[in-house]
Amino acid sequence: MAELAGNCLIGQSGGPTAVVNASVAGIVTEALNHGVIEEVYGALNGVLGLLNEDLVDLASESQQTIRGLRHTPGAALGSCRTKLKKPQDIERALEVLKAHNIRYYFHIGDADSQETAQKIAEAAKAQGYELRVIGVPKGIDNDLPVTDHCPGYGSAAKFIATTVRELSVDAEALAQNDIVTIIEVMGRNTGWLAAASSLAKRRDHPNDPPHLVYVPENAFDAAKFADDVRRILKREKHCVVVAGEGLVDKDGNYVAVESSDNAAAAQFGGVGDHLREIVETQVGAKVRVARLGVAQRAAAHLASKADADEAFLAGQAAVKAAINGETEKMVTLLRGDGDHYTCETGLTAFADIVGNVKKLPREWLNEDGVSMNFQFYRYATPLIQGEVSVPFDNGVPAFIRLHRESVDKQLPGYEA
Amino acid sequence: MAELAGNCLIGQSGGPTAVVNASVAGIVTEALNHGVIEEVYGALNGVLGLLNEDLVDLASESQQTIRGLRHTPGAALGSCRTKLKKPQDIERALEVLKAHNIRYYFHIGDADSQETAQKIAEAAKAQGYELRVIGVPKGIDNDLPVTDHCPGYGSAAKFIATTVRELSVDAEALAQNDIVTIIEVMGRNTGWLAAASSLAKRRDHPNDPPHLVYVPENAFDAAKFADDVRRILKREKHCVVVAGEGLVDKDGNYVAVESSDNAAAAQFGGVGDHLREIVETQVGAKVRVARLGVAQRAAAHLASKADADEAFLAGQAAVKAAINGETEKMVTLLRGDGDHYTCETGLTAFADIVGNVKKLPREWLNEDGVSMNFQFYRYATPLIQGEVSVPFDNGVPAFIRLHRESVDKQLPGYEA
């Protein structure tokens, strides 16, 4: 394979995670190891930066800053939810890539973003412009196919499990009267995050909170829910409920959606209050609701070390793959077969990713439909191991900011 | 002063905090230093345990367990919101104290609880039963008078400031379109917790998030709020709002209360959604709401070391005071005068506490009414310093549980 010399560009896309910047750090670190990559650029706000030619020089950032990315939440380069829909957008993106001799494009994102990366790769090929495009997975929802799990999920899972354990200990202290604690978690149409709350249970204590976990893969039934709560209150005097934001009823309709111009952009939220109403009217117990919201993907102070390390590894693997001539592929995480958890990286074609969603396997739930069995624990437990050492400054975590040294524009402006 | 030999009893009351168990640890540790205290008992669920004669032997707990209390949230002895209303309840409480030769009673709680402690002390005095009663303050709301601050507040403040910083970093990444992040925090009728979110700002970066902080001490005006949001969106493209759950309008009515049989028991919640509606209808921006809920008082994994140490200190001080003959007093925290923060303990009469609420001083807010000035920073910054080292087990914080070895009952049962 011929060596391809040129510059590389990194873009971030979609909702940030606690460790998505660790992938940026992995890419930058690895890119600087290879002589064929000359400049290391970042696109501000993903494809928007590509369209607007808003590029920054990442190689000029200090080592300290790049290291700091490993514990900084958000998207250090800025993110966006923009898709390249119009043919002229793709055309423009290519012009910008060419103008800066970008030969390596690394796109960190979820399924939608991988589709964008694929479009750019295809257009380059059609024009005979040699460009290698590699995707890096990210997302707390953990719903990307092929990859064993998604960087970002482990940290969100750790935050949720910790918070559920803490809220449960608090609730227990006041459990003389029936009290129901409802925790609404993210996850859109899959139950990976809701299921992760089960990691709050101590080993061999199946009756520990959370007592009832509702996932979107399982049709929600209000009457069964009320029965479930009554059963737990009888046994424990308090009941901790975890509900995924995207719960659906037996007809497939969302139980609670705040706004939904279209399914993809649906803004979830409100399941907790919906369940509260059921408990108050049908069970008659006191309820308190917590909606963890974006904290689930931003809580870098409690990131999983395993997750942060794998996010970094995925970034490195993307560079290695591209250097080796790979393109139009996304990095995947592969779990070893042994009893001891190991994780390596692999590659999968963009085509395998786009349009596919990985649901929580139904057989990982117990028959009661509200708790997880050993298969889920075996899967998820390794992903939340270890803590990231976050520096604190004056009592709060110190996050870094990129200096964002602009790369000189070569092209006229563009109306995206 | 004559030495008073006998047993001691500890009770916890009201909503737990991340560090209320550290006060229990302080009391137990100190009590064992004094020969005159023979047995160290705990009442399960506060005064309920006193009425039901549900006492446990704390001296029989392992050293490890008592040390573990310093990082365990909730109320290890159980808590309650019960008040001793009927004269026969007070009578019964005294009978139980006498039956177990309790001569020292330590009550960890907020203003309501200190009132209960006072009643017990008065009844003992009336009967000529020598009993020393010392209160230990606790509460994330920080609204107890006399004491400089309340154990529990610093940890909640640290959690809120950290979470607001993390949510803000996340919001910034997607700030190409106007986006408003609303974070609803606890605090009932005072703004101490909402104000604490300001600690998320970097030093000398007054424009950092949170951009708008609404406290109950300041009448809430929907039109001004909409103007405030518009002003920030123009400047920053995104806007982070923090709102206290107990906001009131100019007539003193709660802006949003979920249930309110009576003022004291009012269950707050809903301010965030109320503000969302104002933004959506009057400003027309995208909104996301987080309601941190009980996580604010339970997040021991992010407790302030200063706070945890002071909670322990307050417990120790209670024992020392009682041994020195003090009674019917609550421990207070006293701040030193110097530039360098120091904290010692003092005492104040129960009578000074009961029925009083310490509001956030109006002059600690800037003229804009939505940000805090240096006086607040000077006050609150020392309270969130340092991190507590929490052991993790299998990816989640390991909290301890008391073995709760029962003390043999001496009396017939009682219908509380």
3-state class (DSSP) for residue A133: strand
pLDDT for the residue numbered B333? 98
pLDDT at site B259: 56
Per-residue model confidence as pLDDT tens digits over A311-349: 999 999 999 999 999 999 999 999 999 989 999 999 999
A33 CA to chain B: closest CA distance, Å? 28
Which amino acid, one-letter code, is at B368? D
For residue A407, is pLDDT > 60? Answer: yes
A405: left (phi > 0), else alpha (psi -120 to 50), else beta?
A: beta
CA atoms within 13 A on the CB side of B305: 10
pLDDT for the residue numbered A263: 45
Predicted confidence (pLDDT) per residue in B133-173, tens digit: 999 999 999 999 999 999 999 999 999 999 999 999 999 99
pLDDT tens for chain B, residues 1 to 416: 678 999 999 999 999 999 999 999 999 999 999 999 999 999 999 999 999 999 999 999 999 999 999 999 999 999 998 888 888 999 999 999 999 999 999 999 988 888 889 999 999 999 999 999 999 999 999 999 999 999 999 999 999 999 999 999 999 999 878 899 999 999 989 999 999 999 999 999 999 999 999 999 999 999 999 999 999 999 998 999 999 999 999 999 999 876 544 444 456 668 999 999 999 999 999 999 999 999 999 999 999 999 999 999 999 999 999 999 999 999 999 999 988 999 999 999 999 998 889 999 999 999 999 999 999 999 999 999 999 999 999 999 999 999 999 999 999 999 87
Q: Cα(B291)–Cα(B186) distance, rounded to whole angstroms?
A: 9
Count CB pairs under 8 A between chains A and B.
186
In the set B141, B143, B228, B307, the catalytic residue is B141
Optimal mutation site among A179, A184, A261, A396, interface B, most CBs of chain B within 10 A: A396
Mutate to test the interface with A, among B257, B277, B396 (most CBs of A within 10 A): B396
Give pLDDT tens digits for A67-82. 999 999 999 999 998 8
Q: pLDDT value at position B106?
A: 98
Pairwise CB contact (< 8 Å): A293 & B392: no
Q: Is the pLDDT at A357 greater than 80, yes or no?
A: yes
CA distance A162 to chain B (A): 5
Q: Which residues of B fall within a CB distance of 8 Å from A181?
A: 294
**B348: how many CB neighbours lie within 10 A of its CB?**
18
Q: The complex's ipTM?
A: 0.96
B156 and B164 Cβ atoms separated by less than 8 Å: no
Q: Measured between CB atoms, which of B292, B300, B395 is closest to A199?
A: B395
How close is the nearest chain B Cα to the Cα of A115, in Å? Answer: 19
- Is the pLDDT at A264 greater than 60? The verdict is no
For chain B, report the end-to-end CA distance as a whole number of angstroms.
36
CB contact under 8 A, A399 and B162: no
Question: CB neighbours (10 Å) of residue A373?
Answer: 14
Residues from chain B that touch A173, judged by Cβ atoms under 8 A, are 12, 16, 74-76, 78-79
Catalytic site includes residue B141: yes
> What is the predicted pLDDT for the residue at B265?
47
Residue among B16, B295, B392 whose CB faces A173 most closely: B16
Range A96-125 average pLDDT: 94
| Predicted pLDDT at A176 | 79
Q: Could you say which of A54, A89, A110, A141 is catalytic?
A: A141
Task: Compute the distance between CA of residue A251 and CA of residue A253 in angstroms, rounded to an integer.
Answer: 6
**Residues A291, B294: C-beta atoms closer than 8 Å:** no
Distance between CA atoms of B25 and A4, rounded to whole angstroms? 65
Distance from CA of B324 to the nearest CA of A (A): 32
